[in-house]
């Protein structure tokens, strides 16, 4: 995974985040299930809580501290993911974690909460790995400012992706604004995707139809695993598999930005189109009028719009009812 430029299919990221709740064993199970579900990548969150949450926010600090995995754990998870054929991605929430991850991730992810933390963004970009940035709480001008910052340090657009995201948990349907995906595609010279926080999976299908090349969805073993918020907005293995399968169908339906006759339409052309036939027996020398002719299926030679080419012509020989009209028998 060197860039996002030539993604032929939607790239699915199973966002494990902290749904392992600090258990290496659970993390392994989540990777296994993500693979079975058809995901292309797994994503974790890597942090030293001391440089992520203020200690005075005790309840929040303690909760996240309990979710920390060790560097050894992440190294093993990276190796295990790669063995499973999955890309390993993580979101660093501090400088030390970013430096550590630079040696084991296929790509960095910047969360919506840190998309205005330019120092962290530039550090991640400095490792020349692909970079995915969620755009929650940003407008277009602010997104373009990130592009300018990355351009200054010569970070290539082909390695950059922005994900439309709404920073709420869960996002209400009326707040999803999925047309932002198409809007961002039209306005930005980089890959555009979607990070989903809506309950269910319908939004992911819509996102794919609007051109999202990356879809990130929270992933859990069980939606009732604990009272940790993220489990509720996640897809379980069965639902993730269904979402990915359905989106793959949507991809096949989308097709190309043109309008051509398909190969199967060509096969059906004759049986479904009409031609010009005689509506009655006619004698040689008859000058053809509209009431002498009918336009019925199947198509053989003359199309309905060719009718004017035969009206007023004279028959060279007798014609039978339902006989095909051809120029050979006309003067």
Q: Are 173 and 201 in contact (CB under 8 A)?
A: no
What pLDDT does 188 receive? 98
Residue 6 binned pLDDT confidence (cut-offs 50, 70, 90): confident
* Mean pLDDT on 46-67: 98
Please say if the pLDDT value at position 1 is more than 80.
no
Smallest Cα–Cα separation from 163: which of 186, 142, 141, 143? 143
In whole angstroms, what is the distance from residue 310 CA to residue 126 CA?
74
- Choice between 83 and 6, residue whose per-residue pLDDT is larger: 83
3-state helix, strand, coil in the chain (%, to 5): 40, 20, 40
* Mean pLDDT on 100-117: 98
Class of the CATH domain delimited by 11-254? alpha beta
Residue 31 binned pLDDT confidence (cut-offs 50, 70, 90): very high
Percent of the chain beyond pLDDT 90? 97
Percent of the chain beyond pLDDT 70? 100
What pLDDT does 208 receive? 96
* Length reported for the chain: 331
Q: Are 300 and 275 in contact (CB under 8 A)?
A: yes
* Residue extents of the structural domains in the chain: 11-254, 264-329
For domain 264-329, give the CATH number.
3.90.1210.10
Residue 292 binned pLDDT confidence (cut-offs 50, 70, 90): very high
Q: How many Cα atoms occupy the beta-carbon half-sphere of 75 within 13 Å?
A: 5
Residue 49 binned pLDDT confidence (cut-offs 50, 70, 90): very high
Please say if the pLDDT value at position 13 is more than 80.
yes
* Mean pLDDT on 55-60: 98
Q: What is the pTM assigned to this prediction? A: 0.90
Report pLDDT digits (tens) over 143-189.
999 999 999 999 999 999 999 999 999 999 999 999 999 999 999 99
What pLDDT does 2 receive? 86
């Amino acid at each position: 995974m060197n860039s996002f430029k030539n993604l032929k299919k939607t790239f699915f990221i199973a966002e494990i985040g902290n749904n392992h709740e600090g258990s290496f064993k659970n993390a392994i199970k989540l990777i296994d299930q993500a693979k079975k579900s058809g995901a292309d990548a797994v994503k974790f969150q890597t942090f030293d809580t001391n440089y992520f949450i203020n200690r005075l926010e005790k309840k929040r600090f303690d909760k996240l501290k309990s979710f920390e995995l060790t560097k050894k754990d992440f190294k093993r998870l990276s190796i295990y993911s790669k063995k499973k054929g999955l890309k390993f991605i993580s979101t660093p929430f501090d400088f030390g974690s970013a430096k550590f991850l630079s040696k084991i991730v296929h790509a960095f992810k910047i969360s919506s909460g840190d998309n205005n933390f330019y120092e962290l963004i530039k550090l991640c970009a400095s490792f020349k790995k692909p970079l995915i940035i969620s755009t929650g709480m940003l407008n277009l001008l602010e997104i373009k400012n990130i592009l300018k910052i990355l351009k200054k340090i010569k970070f290539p657009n082909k390695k950059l992706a922005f994900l439309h995201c709404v920073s709420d948990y869960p996002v209400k349907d009326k707040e999803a604004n999925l047309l932002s995906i198409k809007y961002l595609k039209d306005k930005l010279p980089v890959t555009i995707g979607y990070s989903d926080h809506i309950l269910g999976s319908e939004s992911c299908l819509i996102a794919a139809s609007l051109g999202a090349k990356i879809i990130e969805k929270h992933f859990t073993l069980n939606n009732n695993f604990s009272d940790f918020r993220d489990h509720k907005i996640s897809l379980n293995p069965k639902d993730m598999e269904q979402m990915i399968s359905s989106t793959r169908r949507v991809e096949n339906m989308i097709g190309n930005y043109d309008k051509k006759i398909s190969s199967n339409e060509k096969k059906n052309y004759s049986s479904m189109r009409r031609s010009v036939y005689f509506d009655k027996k006619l004698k040689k020398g008859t000058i053809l009028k509209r009431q002498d002719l009918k336009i019925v299926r199947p198509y053989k030679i003359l199309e309905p719009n060719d009718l004017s080419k035969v009206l007023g012509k004279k028959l060279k020989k007798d014609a039978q009812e339902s006989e095909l009209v051809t120029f050979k028998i006309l003067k």
